[in-house]
Amino acid sequence: MKNIATALILLVFVSLPFTAFAGQPRLMASYGDWEVYMFYEDNNKVCYIASQPKADEGNYKRRGEIFALITSRPADNTRDVFSYITGYTYKAGSEATVKIDGQEFTLFTQDETAWAPDSDTDARIARAIRDGSKMVVQGTSSRGTLTTDTFSLSGSSKAYEQMTKECR
Q: Give every CB contact of residue 167 below 8 A, 6+ residues apart in sequence.
A: 38, 45, 46, 47, 72, 73, 74, 79
**Least confident segment among 4-8, 80-84, 88-92, 119-123:** 4-8
Report domain extents, the chain: 4-166
* Ramachandran angles phi, psi of 21, nearest 5°: -155, 135
Name the nearest CA neighbour of 35 among 74, 3, 80: 3
Q: What is the average pLDDT score of the chain?
A: 89
Report yes or no: 112 and 64 within 8 Å, Cβ to Cβ: yes
Instruction: Please check the confidence at residue 129 and state whether its pLDDT lies above 90.
Output: yes
pTM of the predicted model as reported, rounded to 2 decimal places: 0.85
Pairing mode of beta strands 134-140, 44-51: unpaired
Report yes or no: 24 and 9 within 8 Å, Cβ to Cβ: yes
- Give the CATH fold of the 4-166 domain: Immunoglobulin-like (2.60.40)
* pLDDT at residue 53, as a whole number: 98
Please state, in angstroms and as integers, the Cα–Cα distance from residue 58 to each residue in 51, 101, 108, 129, following that order: 19, 22, 20, 23
Please state, in angstroms and as integers, the Cα–Cα distance from residue 95 to each residue in 108, 128, 142, following that order: 5, 19, 12
Q: How does residue 155 score in pLDDT terms, banded at 50, 70 and 90?
A: very high
Fill in the amino acid letter for 44: N
Taking the C-alpha atoms of residue 28 and residue 97, their distance in angstroms, rounded to an integer, is 29
